[in-house]
Amino acid sequence: MISLGKKSPSGKPWVMLTAYDALMAKEVEKGGADLILVGDSLGKAILGYEGVEEVTLSDMAHHCKAVVRGRKSIPVIGDLPVNSYEDKPMALASSKKLIEQGVDYVKCEGYIPEIIDHLVQNDIPLIAHLGHTPQKADPTGKVVSANRLQSAKILLEQCLEIEKSGACAIVLEMVSREVAKTITERLSIPTIGIGSGPDTDGQVLVITDMWGESDVNFKFLRKFGDIANEKCIAVKKYCDAVRSSEYPSDEHAFHIKKSEKDIWEGGE
């Protein structure tokens, strides 16, 4: 089983980004990230679904395989989509399907230590996901987790139990900073935060959010680019060039052999 330390190979915090196809995987790896997550966020980010609840195991397998094709050596994590790990046999079968696509880990949401233990016992490298869990979330909006003492204690105990079950790491989403910090200090496996403050062992963002290609505006999100605008500008320039007959020009064309050009143009 592939292990993850509290620090990345560089000795710095882990950097994880989502990717959904071979091109994105190449960009993420070339940019220097440590881990790729093929998240079920692809439903809204790529497939035009309303939410993660529409994403299927076949969707995930297809995109996991594409990402694996694009990466060279960076580890890839595949999300188990909603309704694909409701019991132990289903969870194992679904996990094996993603592993068959070449992913290095699978990730599942929620406090399900018995499922995690079963997968680990069957040699599935597993990353857990606690705190805000989009697959089970209230569709009316995101809710910060563990911002009260009782819920904080429960989350800490759940994380400790999941560590005992054999998870390689835990994603903590929208957990109050103080609680995420304590959990990180108490666990021997790494925590990867999203909206959980700077004290976790690493960070993850949805790539289309990070580079400014979506319209989401979460408090925890910082946009590091404006890819959507750049793409729109490029499309407009292409349209203008074609309509003005500026593109393509002769430099973009291939030619018949010079020795046969006159014959061809003469119609013989």
173 catalytic? Reply is yes
Handedness of CA 48, 51, 57, 61 (dihedral sign): positive
> How many helices and strands in the chain, by DSSP H and E?
10, 8
Which whole-number Å values give the CA distances from 148 to 67, 110, 170, 263, in the listed order? 39, 19, 20, 85
Going 130 to 101 to 4 to 162, the CA torsion angle's sign is: positive
Residue 77 and residue 99 in contact, taking contact as beta carbons nearer than 8 Å: no
Q: What are phi and psi of 109, to 5 degrees?
A: -100, 150
The CA-atom distances, in angstroms, between 95 and each of 77, 105, 167 are 11, 9, 14
173, 178, 230, 268: the catalytic one is 173
- DSSP 8-state code for residue 220: T
Length of the chain: 268
- The burial of 2, by beta-carbon neighbours within 10 Å (0-12 exposed, 13-18 middle, 19 or more buried), is given as exposed
Distance CA 70, CA 52 (A): 24
Positions annotated as catalytic residues are: 173
